[in-house]
Chain A
């Protein structure tokens, strides 16, 4: 079963830990954070559960069609109050419980002082490709 783990720059439930932006951490704390993320992906690759991961830059805009012969309308950059996706990891695992367990591990990535960030991650199941065979 495939699940999408979404990481947000902003949005989601109230932060469990109120930490400053990464450019205000100690350089070694930032290094440890990056290393943790890297190791997480390596582990998933080794267990055969990794599908894809991508990071998104904070820029961009909303775009919509605005009628024949007119250029699309854009609404951006994103407002400070807007939920903003930072990136995703797609995993292919045995169960919802396993997906939750892995997202929990990822959320334990260390921040200032080496303490887990306890960042909220969104976990979403993919629809399957075909209808299950019944009976």
Chain B
């Protein structure tokens, strides 16, 4: 059984149940139960019409839930009486689900979880494993999110920027457990790009493909982080890069620049270079200027300073760094790098050690500790 094929069907089936009169929260629950049954029974007994099977099982599950509810309240509900004919398939259903699940009123972690379940067709157990929380916690997060959405119609125009943000967060989670969230984010963004013709969706898809292409080179066999300059570029996935670049070029040609396209442009310039020294850093700085204009983000300003250091020399980089916020998580790491390039090894070693204490993940901490050790060793071999 191809599990991703099954997952592809989930949003459409939810859409059908909603069109038949189910509310979103109940429809989503019913489809989740049908999905779990499918995962159990399809490997031995695959249905001839997978979508029809899911609709039938989910609809019956929904009716059971409605009847149970009705008998509890000792009154009949009209919806249980007849089975309405299937409405014409609406391709918009899935798009509307993206908007609803990433609704701006939802906290980000709830939006992520709900999107993965209702749009991504993942089970609560898989999502919980991927985010390293107990299944009951994840189930609760999802039902609370759905309660918040209660009464919202499914056919309202949504906010694309929150949808893209959710997909970006899923992508950045990488993978733990049996679900590869980066791959899942790419699948969902690719599906979204097919549903809505927007340059920023294409930009995000290109960005993901270009980043994902470098994944194999980003850690070594011992699980250690490998910085860009030391990555084995022969490990980069050239097909993924080519696809990302083509998608990006088509998006940029439409002349409606946004932050994801600008980030993808920077990733494309890295992907295109045979080495760090042969990278077009001047153009990367120009893209950071665009990105800064679009977002005003302090993190972008920090990354820009590092790029300026590569383009115009470490002193210029340090000057650009002086205009950034020293409170940023990676400020000390950027400063350490620029000081090392400028030849001030003593200061660089101190800053790497300081950066290691401010690291936000264990691999990053281990890497920065090692950088401090490396630079100190250069000083006193």
Interface residues of A (CB under 8 A from B): 21-27, 29-31, 34-35, 38, 55, 57-58
Contact = CB atoms under 8 A, between A and B. Distances in A.
B374 A27 contact: yes
Chain B contact-residue range equals: 20 to 34
B350 to A, nearest CB: 9
B369 A31 contact: no
B373 A30 contact: yes
Given A34-B224, A34-B366, A35-B222, A23 B373 contact: yes
Interface in B306-364: 349, 352-353, 356-357, 359-360, 362
A27 B373 contact: yes
Contacts of B376: 23-24
A23 B349 CA distance: 8
A49 B72 CA distance: 47
Interface of B: 222-224, 349, 352-353, 356-357, 359-360, 362, 365-366, 369-370, 372-374, 376-377
Contacts, number: 42
Contacts of A25: 373
Nearest to A23: B372
B377 A23 contact: no
A26 B366 CA distance: 13
A44 B372 CA distance: 31
Contacts of A35: 222
Given A23-B352, A38-B223, A30 B357 contact: no
A23 B359 contact: no
B131 to A, nearest CB: 14
B230 to A, nearest CB: 13
11 contacts: A22-B373, A23-B369, A23-B373, A25-B373, A26-B377, A27-B370, A29-B373, A55-B362, A55-B365, A57-B357, A58-B357
A64 B374 CA distance: 41
B353 A31 contact: no
B357 A24 contact: no
Contacts of B353: 21, 23
